[in-house]
A and B are shown apart, each in its own frame.
Chain A
Amino acid sequence: MKQFASLFSTIDQSTKTTVKVNALTAYFNAADDIDKLWTIALFSGRRPKRAVTTTRLREWGAEVAGIPLWLFEECYPIVGDLAETIALVLPPNETRDNRSISQWINNLREVYKADDEAKKAFVLDAWARLGGTERFIFNKLITGGMRVGVSQKLMTRALARATDRDEAEMAHRLMGNWHPDDTTWHALIEAEDASADASRPYPFYLAYALENGPEHLKAPADWRAEWKWDGIRGQLIVRDGAHFVWSRGEELMTDRFPELARAVDFLPNGTVLDGELLVWQDGADAPDSFNKLQARIGRKTVPKKLLKDAPVLLHAYDLLEWEGEDIRQAPFKERRALLEKACADLPPDAPIRLSPQLDFNGWDDLHSFRDGARDAQAEGLMLKRADSPYLAGRKKGDWWKWKLAPLTIDAVMIYAQSGSGRRANLFTDFTFAVRDGPDLVPFTKAYSGLTDAEFRKITAWVRKNTLQRFGPVRQVKPHHVFEIAFEGIQASPRHKSGVALRFPRMLRWRHDKPLEEANTLEDLNEMLRIYG
């Protein structure tokens, strides 16, 4: 594990990309294939099957450390990471072991089916043999989530350098449904036929936010505009008579959206679409709110009733592969023309629709489209350069998202709760209320949006102004008013206020506003009426 641990430490310690890429490249040049394969798997969030529950791990950790379990549990939120907490409380020792990372993973796999006693013996033996970073990494192998400061981008860059191949090709190879248990370094990285895996998606192209309007983009005629849908970005693959649906986070969602299974009836093999998954009722002229879709995301299998209440469609806006050919390098207007052709014969009940383009002559037209975005249940507009290729990742210049300004409301802070990890000593989670006559009605929580200095300031205030404690939650004196920004508002019978907000966050601490000037429940209901 030494080799991997030293790579991990170098990457973990540095904030400089060159240092990280150099360390990775050196590692890919030196390590065994199986260790390299596991390294890219671990750094991209894949992990060995969990052999030990975290409950057991905590108990054993506390036991070996000679501390009561409650004390361990107090330390965990302060440290913020289970694997690290255990590594820190265990008695220190030097590493006396030569197994590589993949060998450790194999050993871990061997105890997967063993009973608790055998697992415990294995874990305690590992703790006795490993010290420092290596012990931490061992714990991470069990608890999962070995994401270090290595983006997919850095990893592909290092792989490209080590293998002398193209970065975009590497990015493509790393995508998809692979796991070290069923592939090899050679098959994944070096083999000639990279598309052997029919499920493999293309890296998504992500847009930058347009802050000050489109005027600086020069000639409007060079650009195409679409609605920016408030759904889930998805890639639909039809190959070899099967279909696959991928999320932007590289999660395979095929089973969550059974509606799309019929895609194979309408699209030829060798077709890959990029688009937005939306809940769209039969005959409706706009999609349902994101809330409806949320119910679908959470389910691995979908009950019939939900399927009927919240039917999902893919609104396609780009074509990446056509007739088995990767066409990402073709200009957007050509891909769009092919996309329109591919969608031309779709029957009205097909689960795929062509996402419309917005017809505009000058930027003024676009401003009016944007003003109407909320009516179309869209978050704003997308602008794409007509002759741009489909790139990988977030690249500036060709794709822009021009979002609506968020909705805002001034609310009173009434409860506070401390954060976790590095913020365990700060109050960062707040509940906000609107006024209703003499009462305050809680309607949302918000966690983010303040600076560290503001969080410290409000923390000091909360400590001095606590009225009551309920476990970790403190009720505070209603005094401070915050401007809360959010992207959408929905009726919600589960909430006392009757509404649920989408992406609420603290936009500003309104020191200038007294309590009496906070918004009311009536104001909130009015927003629900207009935007809900």
Chain B
Amino acid sequence: MRHEPVLTFTPKGIYCAAGDFYIDPWQRVDRALITHGHADHARGGMGRYLATHDALPVMRHRLGEINAEGIAYGERLTIGGAVVSFHPAGHVPGSAQIRVEVAGQIWVASGDYKVIDDGLSAPFEPLPCHHFITESTFGLPVFRWEPQETVARQINDWWRTCASDGKTAILGAYSLGKAQRLLSMLAPEIGPILCHTAIENTNAVLRDQGFALPDTILADKDATAKTHPGAIVVAPPSALGSAWSKKFGRQESGFASGWMAMRGVRRRRAGDRGFIISDHADWAGLLWAIRETKAENIYVTHGYTEIFSRYLNENGWNAQVVPTQFEGESLEASDERDNAA
């Protein structure tokens, strides 16, 4: 017998008819299951929200007053005819893949994910399923991430050199996830760690939840190169080279993102240094994750969808591009977004 698909792709987002809910919808719906707090996944205006306990504080911080319920990783919840559970996606603290089971048919919407343990987010957990929805932000074989320790060493070496040259190191990173991951990689003995307000606010939310971050100082109007010599300042990319950064005197700027893997982008966007580090899976990571699910049907979204699904189809999967009216976190779009890389 032929099953109705458990999840379908509608103009409002990924829809589950059996449970009458949406996953990461981009239009107002009554019931929304949210993989994580990034702006292209968690939008305002939904009737009810369901997300992991760890994702909720950041969502509330960003979206304000919302009607939301929390759920633990692995906890099973029946919604109508569907059994739903959330599992670690390793993308940012609190991020989840959403597993939906209806009459023995298992679908997993993985949201954004990475497969290495960043020491902060609950590590990615492959889920056996029949249908797997995957992102493909970095779905090209040119993207290959180095181990986190290697990038940590590069960043700390750069910071140390800046400090000994009497310069402030200003590191650009997106405020939820990437910034905290970088903070946890810094070697505090080199000097003081300052954070831009946007980042310090998110830090406070995560610290409240018990995430261990090194001591940071809010880079308020009194903080300058004089008050904090040898400092590293972590700031949103938009703050790099802005009037705000001037007060840190002689400085070098760095930018941490997966896009830095490409020399052209690095030269255009990185300021003085580009560090290749991403909260999305690289080529090998995507393929590993897909293999681990044992799924035969793969739905590709967010990124190099056409190329990645063609590759999957040639290698024995039944892959298709998820039609979406929204562009994913493309190289160019990432300029303005707070969540790419």
Contact = CB atoms under 8 A, between A and B. Distances in A.
Contact of A88 (B144, B311, B330, B333): B144
B306 to A, nearest CB: 9
A217 interface: no
Interface in B11-46: none
Interface stretch (A63-71, A182-190, A490-498): A63-71
B327 interface: yes
Interface string B271-314: 11110000000000000000000000000000010010011001
Contacts of B151: none
A79 B264 contact: yes
B331 interface: yes
A422 B327 contact: no
B141 A149 contact: no
A167 interface: no
24 contacts: A13-B266, A13-B273, A14-B272, A70-B310, A71-B311, A72-B141, A75-B140, A75-B141, A78-B140, A79-B142, A79-B264, A84-B263, A85-B142, A88-B142, A88-B262, A89-B142, A92-B144, A422-B268, A424-B331, A425-B330, A452-B335, A456-B332, A456-B333, A463-B327
Interface in A38-76: 65, 67-68, 70-72, 74-75
A350 B323 CA distance: 69
Interface string B303-341: 010010011001000000000000100111101000000
Nearest to A74: B307
B261 interface: yes
Residue of A12, A68, A74, A421 with highest tally of chain B CB at under 10 A? A74
Task: Please list the 7 inter-chain residue pairs (A to B) with the smallest Cβ-Cβ separation, ordered nearest first.
Answer: A88-B142, A422-B264, A89-B141, A74-B307, A425-B332, A425-B330, A75-B142
Contacts of B212: none
A81 interface: yes
A422 B140 contact: no
B267 interface: yes
Given A68-B314, A81-B263, A89-B141, 8 more contacts: A79-B262, A84-B263, A88-B142, A88-B261, A422-B264, A425-B330, A426-B332, A456-B335
B204 interface: no
B265 interface: yes
Contacts, number: 70
A130 B261 CA distance: 18
Nearest to A65: B141
Name which of A12, A15, A70, A88 has the most chain B CB atoms within 10 A of its CB: A88
A144 interface: no
Interface of B: 140-144, 146, 261-268, 270-274, 304, 307, 310-311, 314, 327, 330-333, 335
A13 B268 CA distance: 10
A74 B267 contact: no
Given A14-B272, A71-B307, A74-B307, A422 B265 contact: yes
A460 interface: yes
A80 interface: yes
B264 A74 contact: no
B272 A13 contact: yes
Nearest to A16: B272
A11 to B, nearest CB: 11
Contacts of B307: 71, 74
Interface string A413-443: 0000000011011100000000000000000
Contacts of A75: 140-142
Contacts of A16: 272
Contact of B141 (A13, A71, A80, A460): A71
Contacts of B144: 88, 92
A251 to B, nearest CB: 26
B105 to A, nearest CB: 32
A426 to B, nearest CB: 6
A72 B142 CA distance: 9
A149 B263 CA distance: 12
A143 to B, nearest CB: 14
Contact of B142 (A78, A92, A422, A424): A78
A460 B331 CA distance: 14
Contacts of B314: 68
A280 B263 CA distance: 46
